Structure 1
Amino acid sequence: MEIRTFQSASEVAKEAADYIADRIRENIAKKGIFTMAISGGRTPWEMIKALAAHDLPWEKVFLFQVDERIAPDGHPDRNLTQLFKSIEDTKLPTRLNIFPMHVVAEDLDQACLEYSESIRRITETGKLDLIHLGIGTDGHTASLIPGDEVLQVVDRDVALTGNPYQGRYRMTLTYPLINQAEKILWVITGEEKAEMLNRLLHQDPAIPAGNISQEHTIILTEESAAVSIN
């Protein structure tokens, strides 16, 4: 695992955008497309804005969600709502290849299956080129929540949480799909994340993030979050 530390969250966001842009160019040159799953969060929205400033062949980029709250379309709790807000007034084309998690479906289990099938159809292998992750102060990542039955899912690439978390049930990519990604990019900012970053680096199995593969992984973080690394 590679770790790079910067002075501020804004620097982390810019570096993450540059890193993703390089991976987009590299993968498109190699195989013609780039597939990525994006998590939510304050710094990631800055990252997306910075990424939008890059001159890239967006028609060959396919964006998926790492997780989503079960909430109505356009609701401020939705990661998709915040994603669209982050790319307002950017130079991105109006028709991006974005694949939203269908969390307003009547049959959410079927929606999970269909989302998995969409990933497999676009990637052909089911293996995403890059998955972007963050970490919570409780050690969760994606919507892999401490103590939730979703942590035990090994036979599905996309699943629902068994209990509400912060007031919402969620749809999430699971360990099997995340751990086979070609690249995993962690974006971790804020001093409140220091303990969990240290536990992540030590692959602490007691936190969900500690069970993510560290092969082909890079962490971009700021100094305040890295103070507890030992």
Structure 2
Amino acid sequence: MIHIYSDLEGISQAAAEIFIDAAQQAIHSHGRFSVALSGGSTPRRLYEILATPPFRDRVKWQSVHVFWGDERCVPMDDPRSNYRMAREALLDRVPLPGGNIHPMQGDLPPAEAARRYEVALRNYFRDQPPAMDLVLLGLGDNAHTASLFPHTPALNENVRWVTDVYVDAQDMHRITLTAPFINRAAQVVFLVSGADKARALQIVTEGAYQPHIYPAQLIHPNGAHPIWLVDKAASHKLTVEIEEEV
């Protein structure tokens, strides 16, 4: 399902409502809410909104558990760290217990960091089905999502929940949730902003299924379509007529 908004602010406001609704439902249903955050520049505004009244006051933060969809293999205080961005925009500004924050350890050797994160996830879901309540994702101009990049071994991982990946184009190791684990989530929401994402969005949602080239095509939570929150600039190459939101 694709929802088009005028700009990043519209996307972020809509995503905040989805976040809050998902949190309230999960906490009512099973006592806690698990969310995997996205990195990159697009979700930062969402995090800022969630950290600001009245949105902040609508979430029972002591029952929220924060995970990450992926991370660069850099120290946690590195400006490129997804954890650092989320901490500055959201985590330091809400009453979230420290034990409820589950960052990927990008300063460890990549394979070890991935192994430890999978252990942490398995411990968290020990008494419940292993499914995130909400996964937030972005979309790269090459159609990657999380750290599932074109033509990388991570795309073929069907057993592990977390894996490490080396991205040649960036000369960087990363850690990522795998597509099968993401697809167990109750809800997956893509946030896509900017004209530079238009071609990728059109191919992923309307093009032939070629996930080794366009990895975001792998994401279909519980066999269904993810929710796409996109702005006008990112949507301008879509050919299917879609009703625009305010």
TM-score by structure 1 length? 0.92
Moved more, 180-189 or 157-166: 157-166
1:84 equivalenced with 2:87 (yes/no): yes
The residue that corresponds to 2:194 in the other structure is 190
Match of 1:173 among 171, 177, 181: 177
Write out per-residue CA displacement over residues 67-92 of structure 1, whole angstroms, 9 at most, x where no aligned residue. Answer: 001112301111111111212773x1
The residue that corresponds to 1:147 in the other structure is 151
1:222 alignment partner AA:
D
1:105 equivalenced with 2:112 (yes/no): no
- Cα separation, 1, equivalents of 2:108 and 2:146: 20
Match of 2:219 among 203, 206, 212: 212
- Cα separation, 1, equivalents of 2:168 and 2:122: 28
Shift of 1:57: 0.7
CA contact 1:150–1:162 (8 Å) conserved in 2: no
Moved more, 22-31 or 163-172: 163-172
CA contact 1:45–1:82 (8 Å) conserved in 2: yes
The residue that corresponds to 2:137 in the other structure is 133
1:159/1:222 CA distance change after superposition, 3 Å: same
Could you list the runs of 4 or more consecutive aligned residues of structure 1 that deviate by over 3 angstroms after TM superposition?
A: 162-165
The residue that corresponds to 1:118 in the other structure is 120
- Aligned pairs for 1:2-41 within 5 A: 2-41=1-40
1:102 counterpart SS class: coil
Shift of 1:226: 0.8
Shift of 1:125: 2.1
- Cα separation, 2, equivalents of 1:37 and 1:145: 18
Shift of 1:210: 1.2
- Cα separation, 2, equivalents of 1:145 and 1:191: 20
1:100 counterpart SS class: coil
1:229 alignment partner AA:
L
1:114 alignment partner AA:
R
- Cα separation, 2, equivalents of 1:186 and 1:172: 16
CA contact 1:18–1:51 (8 Å) conserved in 2: no
The residue that corresponds to 1:50 in the other structure is 49
1:10 alignment partner AA:
E
1:219 alignment partner AA:
W
1:32/1:94 CA distance change after superposition, 3 Å: closer
Write out per-residue CA displacement over residues 103-150 of structure 1, whole angstroms, 9 at most, x where no aligned residue. Answer: 2225x3233222112222223322111111110001110001111111
**Structure 2: gaps of 5 or more residues:** 240-246
1:220 counterpart SS class: strand
1:94/1:181 CA distance change after superposition, 3 Å: closer
2:189 counterpart SS class: strand
The residue that corresponds to 2:244 in the other structure is none
Aligned CA-pair RMSD: 1.7
CA contact 1:130–1:182 (8 Å) conserved in 2: yes
- Cα separation, 1, equivalents of 2:12 and 2:114: 30
Shift of 1:62: 0.5
**Structure 1: gaps of 5 or more residues:** none
TM-score by structure 2 length? 0.86
The residue that corresponds to 1:70 in the other structure is 73
1:225 equivalenced with 2:234 (yes/no): yes
The residue that corresponds to 1:95 in the other structure is 97
